[in-house]
Amino acid sequence: MDLSKTPPLSNIPKIAMLGTFPPLRGLSSYCLELSVAVAELVQVEFISFRKLYPGLLYPGGGLKDDDSFPSAEHQRLTVQRRLTWYNPLTWLRAALFTGADLLHAQWWSLPLVLVYGCIGTIFKLRGKPVVFTVHNVRGHEPSRLFELASRGLFKLGDHFIVHTRQGRRLMQAHYNLSEDRISVIPHGSLDFQVKNQVNRDSIRQDMAIEPRQKVILLFGAIRAYKGVDIALKAFAQVLLEVPEAVLVIAGKLWQKWDPYQQIIDTCGIANDIRTHLDYIPANEVYRYFEAADLVLLPYRHFSSQSGIGGTAISFRKPLIVTDVGGLPDLVAKREYVVPPEDPDGLARKIIDCLTDSHRLAAMSADAEKVAAELSWSSIAEKTVALYNQLMARN
């Protein structure tokens, strides 16, 4: 877009977006892509945090900044990093001293409910519409408190965005919201993580993976709902027919690794697994996806869309997913969707893919089509159209 030909800033609506922005972690990858895309169409003031929440609330202790994110510069994007979880004055200032016409809050984390509640209430008192993108309709782990907090917070919302059709149904059922107040707008692919001119062979060599080996990737935080144990049991079966297979598991531990290690030891598959059980900085993500031949999302349950899936799509990687949440939307063909908690079915599908190079190539081509459907320009257009509808009613 030629910014020199765009209207003056004074003639363009201004949106306040509330969430996390780099170098914070949280939802920063999503917020980075969305805010830059939306800034092509309206002014965006991103309200982010200086201190997100106490480290003791985060598994592993602390949530260190990630300085490896790319910079986000746009004529119509400004970023305020002033919120602290412990100082309500920062919440008040963020809500009171903005000329934004609408608040778009990214909701996903229980410890932030008071911050979001304060800022949302002030916007409502000022007669400004409030939109929530609900990334987790229900907590990934069962949490009555999360649902109660969400229920109270959602009383401030004029409209809600979810990433999947199932998410909309859950919003209606759990929070008694009418369908016309909920829009389905997908999670886009995280293209900023892709790097050009990388040496795949060198990356795999660094991981002690031989050129002939077939790499299966499990990426992202290690949490019970992600089905890592299911993948391990399936992988043990895969090795019987594809002995050159390697399983790479990369992500921060949110729970003890012991139960998974017990499965590995019992199945005798330790030599065929590579692990990196820690947070992967944004500028290192590409290494794992470039090395992979196939990516798995074997989730037990889910009500949203997967940022990991969006990353796999951005790298055009073949995907096998379970039939939960919006995961089936990440693959072009239903044959790559398997039932949750079915290691036998997952193993069979992995074997079918790894033993057929033409199938893998076709899956990569399908990922190209899915990526086109998840373009940020399309997501921004739908989002801004919603903003305009809400502001027109005020």
Per-residue pLDDT of 180-225, as tens digits, reads: 999 999 999 888 889 888 999 999 999 999 999 999 999 999 999 9
Do residues 43 and 99 both lie within one domain?
yes
Tally of CB atoms within 10 A around 260: 20
Q: How many CB atoms lie within 10 A of CB 203?
A: 16
| Domain total of the chain | 2
Q: Are 46 and 35 in contact (CB under 8 A)?
A: yes
CA distances from 244 to 80, 202, 273, 351 (A): 49, 18, 11, 11
Q: What is the rounded distance in angstroms from the CA atom of residue 247 to the CA atom of residue 254?
A: 20
254 in the same domain as 146:
no
Q: Are 49 and 18 contacting, i.e. CB atoms less than 8 angstroms apart?
A: no
Tens digits of residue pLDDT in 75-132: 999 999 999 999 999 999 999 999 999 999 999 988 999 999 999 999 999 999 999 9
- Residues 63 and 131 reside in one and the same domain: yes
Same domain? 183 vs 250: no
| pLDDT tier for residue 6 given thresholds of 50, 70 and 90 | very low
User: What percent of the chain stands above pLDDT 70?
Assistant: 94
Are 155 and 47 within one domain?
yes
Q: Same structural domain for residues 179 and 231? A: no
The reply to whether 212 and 343 lie within a common domain is yes
pTM of the model: 0.89
Both 121 and 211 in a single domain?
A: no
Packing angle, helices 113-125 and 88-96, rounded to 10:
30
Compute the chain's Rg from CA coordinates.
21
**CATH value at residue 332:** 3.40.50.2000
Give the chain's count of helices (H) and strands (E): 13, 13
* CB neighbours of residue 383 within 10 Å: 23
Burial-class residue 267 by CB neighbours within 10 Å (0-12, 13-18, 19+): middle
One domain for residues 44 and 165 = yes
Task: Answer yes or no: do 169 and 317 share one domain.
Answer: no
Average pLDDT estimate for 276-285:
93
Q: What is the pLDDT of residue 274?
A: 97
* Encoded tokens for 172: 């209606």
Q: Domain containing 217: what range?
A: 196-373
Is 280 in the same domain as 169?
A: no
The predicted model gives 46-56 an average pLDDT of 85
Phi/psi of residue 92, each to 5°?
Answer: -65, -45
**Rounded Cα gap, residues 15 and 28, in angstroms:** 18
Instruction: State the average pLDDT for the chain.
Output: 91
Considering the domain architecture, whether residues 357 and 388 belong to the same structural domain is answered as no
